[in-house]
Chain A
């Protein structure tokens, strides 16, 4: 059974810092991996989608990498801003299944 872990559960950084959020998964036979952002009381917003054949994806100040063999993905946020404060979730998709397996998220606070 696929399990997705995100450590740490919470992270607090000063504004301007570059930071890395981690996501690990137990079964490397994945189809893709998505990173989402969730603001309090809101739904999830997709940030980046990495297919299993890809190593990384970039969008603005965000860069997500994928290492299937080690069961790890990282989300790099450059020059963090208070507006980046949110919970970040990763989710793994597996071949032949519509079901995404979600991690429990990392709550990020960027302090002014």
Chain B
């Protein structure tokens, strides 16, 4: 069972470059999320999508954009990467609000 799949797993960017993190889930979940995890800060929600065609800001949305391409896929785009965006990014999904949430393996991003 694949669950939640993220690509790439590792990426190094130069300041100002752009990139897209891809996420796909095969559990037919309605809700999808992007979190970032930083030492000493815990996990923080960047954006989420409660259903296909909708997206909403989380706690730390600045510098990011998202696209819910279809029910399976939810991508996160950094338009102009900054060193402060160096982090581990996790995609997650659930059947909906208040239900168990399933995480991907993470994407390690370094911006130099």
Contacts and interface: CB of A to CB of B under 8 A. Distances in A.
Interface string A82-100: 0000000101010000111
B56 A98 contact: yes
A4 B33 CA distance: 20
Contact of B43 (A42, A51, A89, A93): A89
B45 A31 contact: no
Residue from A31, A34, A99, A104 with most neighbouring chain B CB atoms (10 Å): A99
Interface residues of B, number: 26
A103 B42 contact: yes
B50 interface: yes
Contact of A105 (B4, B42, B101): B42
B100 interface: yes
A35 to B, nearest CB: 11
Given A42-B105, A43-B103, A102 B98 contact: no
B74 to A, nearest CB: 13
Contacts of B43: 44, 89, 91, 100, 102
A77 interface: no
A41 B44 CA distance: 17
A49 interface: yes
Interface string A25-45: 000000110101000011111
Given A44-B90, A103-B42, A104-B42, A98 B48 contact: yes
B40 interface: yes
A98 B55 CA distance: 11
Interface in B54-112: 56, 58-59, 90, 92, 97-106
A45 B97 contact: no
Residue from A32, A45, A46 with most neighbouring chain B CB atoms (10 Å): A46
B42 A102 contact: yes
Contacts of B48: 98-99
Contacts of A31: 97-98
Nearest to A42: B105
Interface of B: 4, 31, 33, 40-45, 48, 50, 56, 58-59, 90, 92, 97-106
